[in-house]
Amino acid sequence: MVAVEANIQELLDGSLANKRKAQEALFRHFYGFAMSIALRYSRDEMDAADIVSHAFIKIFKSIHSFDSTKGSLHAWIKKIVVNEGLDHIKSRTRFSENVELETVTEPQINNSVIEQMGAEEIMEIVKKLPPATHAVFVLYAVEGYNHREIAEKLNISEGTSKWHLSEARKFLQQQLSTIYN
Amino acid sequence: MDERLKYEQLIGEKLQSLPIPDMQDAIWARVKAQLDIDLPTDDNDGGSSPQSPSGPGIIGWGLSVVIIALVTTFFILKNKPKKQDQKNNSTTTEQVSSPSVRNNGPPLPNNSTIKRTNTPLSTGADNSIPVITNDSAMQQDLGIAEPVRNDSMQINLPPPLVTVPPPKTDTTAQVKKGRGMPVNDSNYRIVPKNKN
């Protein structure tokens, strides 16, 4: 573990010095991690590849701003990839500000159904969500952000974020019930 | 609403384990291409790949210089014999013309050429005699028994206005034996037709 961290530090130093070999090694080290994040915000692999490539260009261009005392390199890279994924979704859609939601009835979804499904099957259903609702659902259910953080990231109100989450839950319930009934 | 439901946690966990497409090389190529534009690097350990413009550029220039040098050398070598021929011709003319002038006019310094001699010929010809400035033409006009290489010169020669006495052969001048059709005095001699 210590050796891996030392190696990553070496790659960081090399990337700071604009050494292509070090940048390539750092890219390959974090490729799987970054791609798994990008796939959640994209409709297909090509979209995900766009997100990852743009994210790594930003990473190498702003690597001097990374401060290891404020957080891990993983967290820093994740933040950049998520922001790139959100920018990608924003480029495809507008986040409506006219919808607000304060109270909602939670849909009933059988957990055992989800457990039986594979990751790709679930992702296929999530991709069917409208882009803005897709983004809010992934940020909330997968990344673990709360509505205030999502509202800040997407520049929308918390009520709008809640509305999108509610819409996502209803849609998923409908889709899952269609598949297993 | 702010609480993550159990099935959402399950979905979150499942989506963490999505299969990763093998697009590493293609994506890195795009990243590297953009970095080469935005953050150019001088390092040779991967920064200057064979695709980088500096490498082939130097090789290309080097090749161009070598090719140009070879072509230039080829043309120089090809043209060299012609120059030597021309040089031989001029030296021959010089060798032949000097004695002929000596035969027809006052002695000239050794370095003199026919062009410098404005002395009228000994036949007493008036000013109608054309002043010849071309060395080769002069050589022909003076009836020098020198073989002429170019046949066309014989055809284009104007008829001589005066009869030039046959040149005395200068044994000191070494006339190079040329090739082609020899021209002798009878070619230039005007023989009046006998009406009877």
Answer whether residue B126 is part of any domain.
no
pLDDT per position in chain B (196 positions), as tens? 567 788 888 888 888 888 999 999 999 999 999 999 998 887 655 444 434 344 445 666 777 788 888 888 888 888 776 555 555 555 544 444 444 444 444 444 444 444 444 444 444 444 444 444 444 444 444 444 444 454 444 555 555 555 555 655 555 555 566 677 777 777 777 767 665 5
Contact with chain A for residue B23, Cβ under 8 A: yes
Answer whether residue B159 is part of any domain.
yes
Task: Report pLDDT digits (tens) over B153-182.
Answer: 455 555 555 555 565 555 555 556 667 777
Q: How far is CA B87 from the centre of its chain?
A: 16
Kindly report the nearest CA distance between residue B79 and chain A, in angstroms. 53
If pLDDT is split at 50, 70 and 90, which confidence band does A103 have? low
As a dihedral over the C-alpha atoms of residue B77, residue B82, residue B83, residue B87, rounded to 10 degrees, the angle is: 150
Contact with chain A for residue B17, Cβ under 8 A: yes
Rg (CA), chain A: 18
Between CA A134 and CA A167 the distance in angstroms is 10
| Cβ neighbours around B178 below 10 Å, total | 14
Q: What pLDDT, on the 0 to 100 scale, is given for residue A137?
A: 92
Tell me, what's the ipTM? 0.84
How many contacts, defined by CB atoms under 8 Å, are there between A and B? 122
Answer whether residue B58 is part of any domain.
no
Of B2, B18, B26, the CB nearest to A147: B2
Answer whether residue B77 is part of any domain.
no
Of A24, A120, A162, the CB nearest to B28: A24
Q: What pLDDT, on the 0 to 100 scale, is given for residue A18?
A: 92
Query: Three-class SS of residue A75?
Result: helix
Of B17, B28, B34, the CB nearest to A27: B28
Contact with chain A for residue B16, Cβ under 8 A: yes
Task: Report pLDDT digits (tens) over B12-25.
Answer: 888 888 899 999 99
Between CA A54 and CA A77 the distance in angstroms is 12
Answer whether residue B95 is part of any domain.
no
A-chain CB neighbours of B14 within 8 Å are: 114, 117-119, 122
Between CA A131 and CA A161 the distance in angstroms is 13
Q: What pLDDT, on the 0 to 100 scale, is given for residue B55?
A: 44
Q: What is the largest CA-CA distance in chain B?
A: 146
Contact with chain B for residue A119, Cβ under 8 A: yes
Give the residue numbers spanning the domain of B147: 131-191
Pick the residue from chain B with its C-alpha nearest to A17. Answer: B41
Between CA B46 and CA A18 the distance in angstroms is 11
Between CA B163 and CA B170 the distance in angstroms is 20
Of A24, A49, A117, the CB nearest to B23: A49
The arithmetic mean of pLDDT across residues A34-62, rounded, is: 94
A-chain CB neighbours of B32 within 8 Å are: 20, 23-24
Kindly provide the residue ranges of all beta strands, DSSP E only, lying in chain A, ordered along the sequence. Answer: none
Q: What pLDDT, on the 0 to 100 scale, is given for residue B47?
A: 44
Answer whether residue B157 is part of any domain.
yes
Contact with chain A for residue B44, Cβ under 8 A: no
Answer whether residue B13 is part of any domain.
no
Please judge whether B10 and A28 are an interchain contact, meaning their C-beta atoms are less than 8 angstroms apart. Answer: no
| pLDDT-wise least confident of A109-113, A131-135, A175-179, B6-10 | A109-113
| Closest to B35 in 3D by CA, of A33, A56, A49, A47 | A56
Domains of chain A listed by start with CATH number: 2-92 (1.10.1740.10), 111-180 (1.10.10.10)
Of A18, A36, A53, the CB nearest to B31: A53
Pick the residue from chain B with its C-alpha nearest to A176. Answer: B7
Count how many residues are written for chain A: 181
Buried b (16+ CB within 10 A) or exposed e, B24-63: beebbebbbebbbeeeebeeeeebbeeeeeeeeeeeeeee
Q: What pLDDT, on the 0 to 100 scale, is given for residue A72?
A: 93
Pick the residue from chain A with its C-alpha nearest to B43. Answer: A19
- Between B196 and A124, the more confident residue is A124
Instruction: Print the SS3 string covering chain B.
Output: CCCCCHHHHHHHHHHHCCCCCCCHHHHHHHHHHHHHHHCCCCCCCCCCCCCCCHHHHHHHHHHHHHHHHHHHHHHHHHHHHHHHHHHHHHHHHHHHHHHHHHHHCCCCCCCCCHHHCCCCCCCCCCCCCCCCCCHHHHHHHCCCCCCCCCHHHHHHCCCCCCCCCCCCCCCCCCCCCCCCCCCCHHHCCCCCCCCC
Task: Report pLDDT digits (tens) over A158-173.
Answer: 999 999 999 998 898 8
A-chain CB neighbours of B47 within 8 Å are: 19-21
Between CA B105 and CA A53 the distance in angstroms is 96
Pick the residue from chain B with its C-alpha nearest to A34. Answer: B20
Please judge whether B20 and A32 are an interchain contact, meaning their C-beta atoms are less than 8 angstroms apart. Answer: yes
Answer whether residue B167 is part of any domain.
yes
Q: Read off the tokens for A10.
A: 């070496």
Per the prediction, chain A carries an average pLDDT of 87
Residue type, B93: T
What is the total count of domains within chain B?
1
Kindly report the nearest CA distance between residue A127 and chain B, in angstroms. 12
